[in-house]
Structures are given as structure tokens and as C-alpha cells.
Structure 1
Amino acid sequence: AMRAAGEGKLHAMYVMGENPMMSDPNTSHVEASLRKLDFLVVQDIFMNETGMLAHVLLPAAASLEKGGTFTNTERRVQVLHPVVPPPGEAKPDWWITGQIAERFDKAMGYERQAGYWSYQDESEIFDELTKVTPIYAGMSYDRLGEVGLQWPCPTPDHPGTQFLHAQQFSRGRGLFHAVEAQDPAEEPDEEYPLIMTTGRVLFHYHTGTMTRRSEPLSWVEPRGYVEVNAADAEAVGVKDQQAVVVKSRRGEVRTRLKVSEDVPQGTIFLAFHWREAPANMLTQDFKLDPVAKIPEYKVTAVRLENPRAKK
């Protein structure tokens, strides 16, 4: 989508619950692509870096401010109950998208039955879901109760399925695919001799839109840093807790260096939570996984520079 926007093939974008200005690779290209759009809508619970570029902001209710259902990795479908009311003009996502769909139909001249996009509450949406999803067919809000049900639950008297593959796998025996190993798109060289890998730290999540607003979490981990092996830090003359510049072929960031034995020599680690030192300013977007289309976040050729060194 970013590539299409940058090439002028995509003119409008609706971003919902995502922050590509922090999470997508090659941030400079992402920003240029988003700025080229004729119309950008961002729907989220907080203002974020992507929202700052939006033409329209739609305030959404957070998980504790709305009802609905949640299906966890145990396949258990549970009812969510609002704990606090949404602030200001914030609305549940389903209400916002329903209102937009209703107005879209009217603008395009589509005729549907009255109330097609209108729901009284979340239970009506769940009832519709059970009619079109066979593994949920036997569920209802009343049946979910306090502990929920595990899919598949095909009929109203079915107790739910505790073990999905109790006797055998649903499709039979395992299916294996041979995959040919490939080298990373970028490898270290004389100009960029280190590998940067990205990820998360314990106290923050993804782009930090929520966790960096949490005072207890922010108190523990208030600002960004890059983890560097002692030998690599010494090679550029930067000590623990001093400022360092990390450069790649896409850009550069300045952050705090943290000497760490958790990373081997030749590798550095920079989490992607930090808006003041965005890791994805450095990552590449020219080669994606051919199947999953996932960027190569874990291998980026970089170099370290000492901002205090005389040039």
C-alpha cells in the first residue's frame, strides 16, 4: 500500500488501530507516501505519529470503554464489558464504520433495507457473526456467560471444543513444505559493518502508543537506547549511557548507547518503540518475504558513529 501511495496509484487510505509511521520499514519513504495521499483517515484511541499526518481523525473507544467479544489463542470466545465510559466524542469502532458505510451507500446510490448498517449493541453483531461463521454457529451472548465457549461450537446444545486435535489433526497428518534458505537482503560490509536487529523491550509494546502513556511503565523505561556489545562500543569510542549515532543506507538516528552482553559482537539491538529514535528510519523495504510480505526487520546493515568525535 505504501509503495502504491508513493507511486500515485493509491489516493486515499483509512488506517485503523495501526501506526505505520512507526511500525513500517523505511520511515522516510512511509512519510513521503502518506503525504502524497489526497485523503488520509486515522481511527485510533490516541493521537499517534501517523495521525499527525491525517486529514481526518476519528476518536475510537479503547477496549475497557466498549463491549464486544474477544477470542483468545485458546479459541475461547469471551464477552467484554465496558468498565468506564469512552471520553469525549470517542465511539466504538463498529459504530464508526457503520456510520461511514451508511453514508457511503447514500453517496453512491446503493439501496439496502432500512437499518442495514445499524446495530442496537454488540450482541446483534455477534448474532450476525454466528450466522456466517460455522465454528461459532452454536454460540450466543447468553451462552457465553462469564467463562465463554471454545470454538468449534456448531450447534446450540454443543458444549464447545476443549481440545481441537484430541484424536487426530483435522486435515490428517502434518504437511511439510521445503523452503530454500536465502541470505539477507543486506549484509554487513566495510561501510556498514554491523547488523541491527529490532524488537521489543519488556516494558513497552509495539509503537508505544499506549505503553509510553503509562506512568509506571514510562518511569521504568522512559527513553530509548540501543544495546551494543562492549567491543563494538569501544571501537567507536562511546561509553555506556553516552549518545551515539546509528546510520544505515536509509537514514540515521541518535540515541543513548547501552553496553550489553546480551548482544554479540557485530550485532546491535534497537527496539521500535522510541519515537525519538525510530528504528524503522533505518530498516529497508525493498525486499519482503515472498509469501507473508513481512519486511526484513531483523537484519539491517548499519554503522555506529561517535557524535563527539572530531571530523
Structure 2
Amino acid sequence: MRLETREQAGLTPAVKVLDTQCPFCSVQCKALVTETWAPGASRPVYTVEPKMNAASEGRLCIKGMNAYQHALSGERIMQPLRREGAGFVPISWDEALDMIGKRVERLQGIYGRDAVGVYGGGSLTNESAYLLGKFARVALRTKYIDYNGRFCMSAAASAGNKAFGVDRGLTNPLSDIELAKCIILAGTNIAECQPTLMPYFTRAKENGAYLIVIDPRETGTSKLADLHLKVKPGMDAALANGLQKVLLEEGLLDEKFLRERTNGFDALRAHLTALDLEEIAGLTGVSAADIRKAALAFGQAPTGMVFTARGVEQQTDGYMAVRAFLNLVLMNGKIGKPGSGYGAVTGQGNGQGGREHGQKADQLPGYRLIENPADRAYIADVWDIEPEELPGKGVSAYEMMEKIHAQEIRALIVMGSNPIVSNPNANLVEEGLRKLDFLVVADMFLSETARLADLVLPCTSYIENAGTLTNLEGRVLLREASRAPIGESRHDWRIMGDIAEKLGRGRYFRFETAEDIFEELRVASRGGIADYYGITYDRLRREEGVYWPCPSTGSAGEGRLFADRFAHEDGRAQLIPVNNHELPEPADDAYPLYLTTGRVLTQYLTGVQTRRSHTLAARDFESFVQLHPKAARAYRIADGELVRVTSRRGSIVVRARVNTDIRPDSVFVPMHWGDTQNVNKLTLPELDPTCRMPGFKACAVRIESYISESAVGDY
């Protein structure tokens, strides 16, 4: 007779611990999710606790504490869905893959290989991001691939590459923050977007740091500041010019550093000398006295750091605005040493790694360039194809939407993204997606984009799909799979391999595990700017995380960059004059307010996942528009009422929140909601000429009461 344990007999709770990692922001906090089945219970109880790691120091925010809820949601897609009329019907994987193979071959046969595009996401693991780039170029053999990270980091990435010769989120480890004596946070609301990082800044303050926040709004981050510069939306480059001018006038320059380690300072000096500080104050809405106060604080501090994020970067001059802040760092010699450096605060969970290995239109793995013959030859050899088989450079994410609208792209495969909500000028994007001959979306949920698809493929969640992610400081982390896939969902990388088989290109994609893909990624990145060759799964398990570049298994990885030289061939950084930017759409009588967009604490990106968490959805169940009491009085808006916000491209209906935390000439709407609350129905289609970043952060709008407007004609 077999003896049962008390657990097997149902007398004691059954407990399973899932060792995982938050799927949301770029800190990538570790967590333990405990699943407990009490005797006789119909469903388990989940508890979550943070797990110690170097970046988060054992912290989790509200999003991380509740991430498991979307992974276990009853709204998860359990099997492939084919459109039938206005709805969907479940089909088998064989039917779904046959459908993709036939439709892709037919469309490419009629319109050419570039008739099919691929659209990825910044939350995919490094393995999936790498494979998606390979899938587009080797399985589909199309040049059209880009991803939603274009809207996150492209301005800072381009600026870092041009100024320093390399783009990595932080040039130094997070632990350096508490050594800085002056910190500038420009366009970043860390308290709500990366809240587990806030203790680094509070410790810096305790150590005597002077904190400057640049933001049009009062936020949880600005409340910690010693000085809050409430800049007019879109005027960050001009403000940075003002800060540089004061450094120059006050002689707060590191002359030796400029002479020995930079190029271009003479041109920058001449440019700054010609600027007028009072004119800059008028452009930015920040007084000359406050600009001077901020510049003196930074210039006189022995150590200092500058951080930028989407507030600076999501502009039609985002690249140049970041370059202006990098000038500030370089003029003062505050880089490459403890307590001094620059950080681009990555938004998405794998925004850093996602752009390093081939999801961007112009890139190949290891941050290689697709138009560089040597880079093409190297990657072609790794992939066992001829260099001439690789397609050329495609276009950026929003430009893909324009080509879809023009029907130059006839089919689109979307993986881990929701472009109908995340792109600017969203009405045009929706019109374009509806024109497609074939739209495939791989996702966990019926997102706003998936609802338009011809075929929806169920993907695994973060607790089911193993892989590596690279956090904001360039530290590669391993996320283990802790749970079996739900229903018939498949790993995104497995789906790519399955489609490749149908297209007759399967031999290039026969991987059994995520680690198998990472082993190929290591070789593909070897010798590139983002060199992962020395990183292995075994090392990541032993060491928790490893910084790149890491060229050999004996290398510790570089936590602090540029101690001795920059990554340009001559070892020097590049300074550049930056013009004061004029907004592409200034406010006028018809559209008198400036709209800026951003995030709230409980939601993430387009809300596809966080809005499926009952705890998070209960905290913020609808969007809103924040406006100043002066604006509310002028337009007869009451706090809490529904209002219509309109730009030249569209309108949305949201609820008003009236407070003094925003400038009187500006309004703020978060980016996490779709449909009638999709703020990107309002935003500009104009792109930064260098990095192709849309200008999300400043456009002209008007605001009016929705209730009074709706009541017209009722009586």
C-alpha cells in the first residue's frame, strides 16, 4: 500500500514558489510569487515578495507586486483566433501557420518581399528581439522591421552614439548616484515610472546632493527637488543651452578635459557666446535667475549626473535636445568617474537590449549597422547566408505606418506591441491597419491592435517565457521560466520558428530553448559595440547580472564607461552646437494650450497588461486631462467633469483633473488608454530628422466641456 504525504492527501496547503522578474520598467526588479492551494479551495491564493538584486536592492513597486494578475487573467488568449465577420473563431496551430504561410507567399509573390513588415516590442527578451530581426531578414527577407522602442529611446540612443561612440542607458552603475553632489533630472518622473530607483536619489540628498528637476508639471519626483524648472513643453534644448551659457560665462569648465578628451568645443563656445539668456528665459518660461541658479549648482559641484527621459527625448528635436544635455556633462568634465555621468532612463522593460540586436530598421546584432559592408558580412556568416541576401535598411516605426496607409506594405506581423495606441497620429494608423490585406498579431490579449487582426496568436507571459533582459544600466539579467504555458500559448521565439518552417526557411530557426538562441546571439554580438560574447546563462545564474560590453568569459563587464577614453576611433567625445528649437505646432487662438503626455504610477505603456490587473485597474480605471485652475476658469471646466480635448488631428473624451501642478498654458494626458481615450489621436506625425522620434510631448490643443457640448440640441 502506497503511503500519501499530507500534501498529497489534501490535508495541508500545496505551495509553489515562482522565481521571476517584473516584466515592466527598465529596473527589472526580481520577485518571488507564491501560489498556495488551501485544502478544498477552488482557486489558489497568490502572495508576492521582492527578491534582492543589485539594481532594485530588494524593492518592488505596485506594478511589480501585481504583475502576476495579468499573467493569470481569464482574458488570456488560449488558442489561435481567426477573424470571422466582426468576431473571431478558435482554430488549431496547424491551421494558423498554414494560413500565414499561404498568405505571406501569395502577397510577396504579387507585391515583392518588402510587401510584408514586422513590428516588434521593447519588452521582448533579448533572445526574442534578436530572433525577430533575423526572422524579418532571413525568413521573410523583408527590409521592413522596426519596433515600439523607437518611441522610447531613439533620441538618447542616437545622441549617445554620436557624442560618445556608444549608446548604453547609464554610463555608470546605479550605485554612483548617491556619490553625486548635483543631479539634473530632465524630463523624467522616476517616482512614478521607475519608483524602485527613488531611494538612490533620496540617499544622494542625504549625502548633500542638490537635485534639479526639469518638467512642465509638478510630480512625485519634483517634490523631492531643491529646484524645479517648470519648462514650457518642447523647450528643453533651449533650456540646456541656457545652462551651458552660464557655465561658459562663469568659467565653470573643465579646460583640461575639454582639451584632451573632446572635439568641437570652439564651435560650441562661439554658438553659446552669441545666445541671449533673457531670450532663452522667454522661450522656456523659466526665469534667467533660475537658469543661472541651476547652472551654478551643477557647475560648482565636485561630482554630478544628468538624466534624461521621454520628456526631453520625445520631441521633434529630441536628438539635439539630448546632445545639448550631453554638452553640459562634457563641458564640466562630469563623466567617467565615480559620482559623475549621464543616464538615459529607459522606459520599457528591455528597451536597452531590444535595440541592440536587430529590431531597429538600420541595425544588426551587437549594435552593428545594416548598411556597413563589414557588419553585413559578419552577420551573414553567423546566419549562414550570403551578405547580398540581407535586405537593406527599412524605415522607422511610424514611417512603417505611413507606408501601410499608402499600401506599400500589404501585410504586417506584430509581436509584443500595440501600435494603434502607441503611435502618434493614431487615426491615420488605424486607417492604415484596416487597409492591410493581412494582419497577424501575437499577444496575450485582444489589444486594440489585435481586435483589427485577421489572425491572433497566443503568446506566453513573463512567468512562462525564459530569457535575458538588459536593464537601464546595461546589466544583462536572466529571467527564468517558472510556470508552464497557459492553454495553447507558445513562446514568441517558437512562433517565429514555426512560421519560418512554413516559409521553407526553418533550418535557420531550429532552437530548442531560449539559451540556444542566446548562444547564437553571443556570437552575433561578438566584436560589436554591444558585445555580449562573454555572457552566458551559467554566469548570469552565478553572478546575478553582467554588464556589457563583455568581450570574454573572463571579463567582469564594464559598469562605468569612459574612464580613459570614449568609444570613437580617436577616443574623444564630440560636442556640437544646438539651436534653440521652435515648436512645429505653436499654440494659437484656435488651439491655445500645449498638450504633453506621459505615464502614471499604476499603468505601463498602452495598458494592455496593466489594465488586466484588477488591483491596478481599480487605482486608475480611466484616463484624464490635468489642467491648471486658470485654464479651467478660462474654459469653464470643473474638476471631475468630462471634457473633449481636440487637436488638428482628432479628439478624445477624458475626465478633468484641475490642480496647480501644471503650467497654466499646458495640459497633460497619460498614454495608457485606447479607443476614445487614446491621447495619440491628438499627437503630431512630425518626426525628429535624425532619430525619427515622434514629437509626442508638445502639440497644440483646445479643451471644452463634453457635457455642455452634448446637451446642445436636447432642449
Residue 16 of structure 1 deviates from its aligned partner by 1.3
Residue 37 of structure 1 deviates from its aligned partner by 0.9
Separation in 1, partners of 2:649, 2:533: 50
Separation in 2, partners of 1:170, 1:12: 39
Paired position in structure 1 for 2:681: 281
Residue 213 of structure 1 deviates from its aligned partner by 1.4
| 1:141-174 deviation line (CA, Å, top 9, x unaligned) | 2232241322233223333334333433333222
Unaligned runs of 5+ in 2: 1-399
Residue 124 of structure 1 deviates from its aligned partner by 1.1
Q: Secondary structure at the match of 1:65?
A: coil
Letter in 2 for 1:130: R
Separation in 1, partners of 2:500, 2:633: 58
Q: Secondary structure at the match of 1:269?
A: strand
Paired position in structure 2 for 1:51: 450
Residue 177 of structure 1 deviates from its aligned partner by 2.5
Separation in 2, partners of 1:71, 1:131: 17
Paired position in structure 2 for 1:118: 510
Alignment TM-score, normalising by the size of structure 2: 0.41
Map residues 96-135 of structure 1 onto 2, 5 A cutoff.
Answer: 96-104=495-503, 106=504, 115-134=507-526, 135=531
Task: Please point out which of 15, 18, 30 is paired with 2:417.
Answer: 18
| 1:167-190 deviation line (CA, Å, top 9, x unaligned) | 333332221232333311111111
| 1:125-155 deviation line (CA, Å, top 9, x unaligned) | 1111122222222332223224132223322
| The 10-residue stretch of structure 1 (17-26 or 275-284) with the greater mean CA deviation from structure 2 | 275-284
Residue 244 of structure 1 deviates from its aligned partner by 1.1
Paired position in structure 2 for 1:91: 490
Paired position in structure 2 for 1:150: 547
| The 10-residue stretch of structure 1 (177-186 or 248-257) with the greater mean CA deviation from structure 2 | 177-186
Separation in 2, partners of 1:224, 1:298: 17
Q: Secondary structure at the match of 1:100?
A: helix
| 1:255-306 deviation line (CA, Å, top 9, x unaligned) | 1100021111111101111224111111121x21101111111111111112
Separation in 2, partners of 1:248, 1:78: 42
Letter in 2 for 1:150: Y
Paired position in structure 2 for 1:178: 577
Paired position in structure 2 for 1:236: 635
Letter in 2 for 1:143: R
| The 10-residue stretch of structure 1 (46-55 or 67-76) with the greater mean CA deviation from structure 2 | 67-76
Paired position in structure 2 for 1:31: 430
Separation in 1, partners of 2:499, 2:474: 31
Separation in 1, partners of 2:413, 2:467: 22
2:566 is the counterpart of 1:169? yes
Q: Is the 8 A contact 2:534 2:550 kept in 1?
A: yes
Paired position in structure 2 for 1:136: 532
| The 10-residue stretch of structure 1 (156-165 or 123-132) with the greater mean CA deviation from structure 2 | 156-165
Q: Secondary structure at the match of 2:553?
A: coil
Judged with a 3 Å threshold, the aligned counterparts in structure 2 of structure 1 residues 190 and 65 are, in CA distance, closer, same or farther, namely same
Task: Please point out which of 199, 202, 205 is paired with 2:601.
Answer: 202
Paired position in structure 2 for 1:221: 620
Separation in 1, partners of 2:416, 2:684: 23
Separation in 2, partners of 1:297, 1:192: 16
Alignment TM-score, normalising by the size of structure 1: 0.91
Letter in 2 for 1:168: R
Q: Is the 8 A contact 2:630 2:664 kept in 1?
A: yes
Q: Is the 8 A contact 2:641 2:705 kept in 1?
A: no
Separation in 2, partners of 1:179, 1:225: 35
Structure of higher RCO (CA pairs closer than 8 Å, 6+ residues apart): 2
The number of residue pairs the alignment matches comes to 303
Paired position in structure 2 for 1:81: 480
Greater radius of gyration (CA): 2
Residue 82 of structure 1 deviates from its aligned partner by 0.9
Separation in 2, partners of 1:19, 1:5: 15
| The 10-residue stretch of structure 1 (254-263 or 144-153) with the greater mean CA deviation from structure 2 | 144-153
Task: Please point out which of 668, 676, 696 is paired with 1:269.
Answer: 668
The alignment's C-alpha RMSD in Å is: 1.8
Residue 19 of structure 1 deviates from its aligned partner by 0.9
Paired position in structure 2 for 1:248: 647
Q: Secondary structure at the match of 2:574?
A: coil
Letter in 2 for 1:152: P
Residue 118 of structure 1 deviates from its aligned partner by 1.1
Residue 25 of structure 1 deviates from its aligned partner by 1.2
| The 10-residue stretch of structure 1 (144-153 or 58-67) with the greater mean CA deviation from structure 2 | 144-153
Judged with a 3 Å threshold, the aligned counterparts in structure 2 of structure 1 residues 243 and 162 are, in CA distance, closer, same or farther, namely closer
Letter in 1 for 2:546: L
| The 10-residue stretch of structure 1 (164-173 or 263-272) with the greater mean CA deviation from structure 2 | 164-173
Paired position in structure 1 for 2:697: 298
| The 10-residue stretch of structure 1 (171-180 or 116-125) with the greater mean CA deviation from structure 2 | 171-180
Q: Secondary structure at the match of 2:477?
A: strand
Letter in 1 for 2:662: V
Residue 49 of structure 1 deviates from its aligned partner by 0.3
Letter in 2 for 1:280: N
| The 10-residue stretch of structure 1 (139-148 or 181-190) with the greater mean CA deviation from structure 2 | 139-148
| 1:208-254 deviation line (CA, Å, top 9, x unaligned) | 11111112211211211100111111122221101111111112111
Judged with a 3 Å threshold, the aligned counterparts in structure 2 of structure 1 residues 191 and 152 are, in CA distance, closer, same or farther, namely closer
Judged with a 3 Å threshold, the aligned counterparts in structure 2 of structure 1 residues 209 and 176 are, in CA distance, closer, same or farther, namely same
Between structures 1 and 2, the one with greater helix share: 2
Letter in 2 for 1:289: D
Separation in 2, partners of 1:191, 1:31: 26
Separation in 2, partners of 1:200, 1:156: 39
Aligned-residue identity in percent: 39
Paired position in structure 2 for 1:193: 592
| The 10-residue stretch of structure 1 (173-182 or 34-43) with the greater mean CA deviation from structure 2 | 173-182
